[in-house]
Structure 1
Amino acid sequence: MPHHMLRAADRPKDAPKTIKFEGAPYGAAISFFAVVSDPGKRVGLHVHPYTETWIVQEGTVRFFAGKDLVEARPGDIMIVEPETPHGFENIGGDVLKMMCVHDSERIIQTFLDPDDA
């Protein structure tokens, strides 16, 4: 088949708001999370053996990357190098929406605090 279509209507009704996509089953060299995060929610520090890129679509986010704290808003793009400890938190009053693109056909992540996994 020369294409694949993953329809929103085919996702389970009780699926998480954030969509996780891994490219390997479809011959794609990338993976991603389409993040939908409520105010105050965070993802703890973790690492990947590849680059991760975020594109903020809605809301305000604080990224933790290495020793840096970086705030981002719609249209901003954040890139974190391989093996850099990073995470993020929705610091706005509205839902945060962003794409987290993983430069890998599979999502490989190791949380630094087991309670965050």
Structure 2
Amino acid sequence: MFVGHYLDVEEKEVTIEGVEKTTIRWLVSPKVGAKNFAMRYFVIKKDGRIPIHQHPWEHEIFVVKGEGYITNGRKTVKVVPGSFLYIPPNEPHGYENPDSETFEFLCIIPVTEKSVPPEERGD
């Protein structure tokens, strides 16, 4: 068993092209023994965004704090604390926070060589 607190996990700026005012904490990953799924904690600050992108893996998301918008390029949905989402593999998706001080959510993904960076795989 592994037990931690999210504030004890290093908060890193997301440096992918087009991402603005967004941080990530890798809460659960192979680094702590997880073999199948990784859990990440994202914070998108006011006026921040993660542009539309896609991956060959699914996402499960739970909104913890603040309000934001999720889009697949065709439909945009406002989400609030308690909202949860399933994003299928290869579906375009993006996030924006135009209104809240912070928009915070958990994101769970399958562990693959491409979905988890080497430092979180324990390589």
Indicate the TM-score class for this superposition, using the shorter chain for normalisation.
0.7 to 0.9
Q: Which runs of 5+ in 2 are unaligned?
A: 14-22, 117-123
Higher strand share: 2
- Cα deviation, residue 15, structure 1: 4.3
Q: Which runs of 5+ in 1 are unaligned?
A: 110-117
TM-align CA RMSD: 2.6
Q: Of the two structures, which has the highest relative contact order with CA contacts closer than 8 Å and spacing of 6 or more? A: 1
Q: 1:22 to 1:57 in 2, by over 3 A?
A: closer
Give the 5 Å matches for 1:71-90.
71-90=78-97
Structure 1 residues 73-116: Cα deviation after superposition (integer angstroms, max 9, x where no partner):
000011111100111011323211110111x114629xxxxxxx
Q: 2:47 aligns to what SS in structure 1?
A: coil
Structure with larger Rg: 1
Aligned with residue 29 of structure 2, among 9, 23, 29: 23
What fraction of aligned residue pairs are identical, expressed as a percent? 18
CA distance in 2, matches of 1:83, 1:9: 31
TM-score, length-scaled by structure 2? 0.69
User: Could you tell me which amino acid in structure 2 is paired with residue 74 of structure 1?
Assistant: P
CA distance in 1, matches of 2:76, 2:7: 37
2:111 counterpart residue number: 105
Q: How many residues are aligned here?
A: 105
CA distance in 1, matches of 2:5, 2:65: 22
CA distance in 1, matches of 2:98, 2:78: 9
CA distance in 2, matches of 1:55, 1:29: 18
Give the 5 Å matches for 1:1-117.
3-5=1-3, 11=9, 15-16=12-13, 17-21=23-27, 23-25=29-31, 26-102=33-109, 104-106=110-112, 108=115
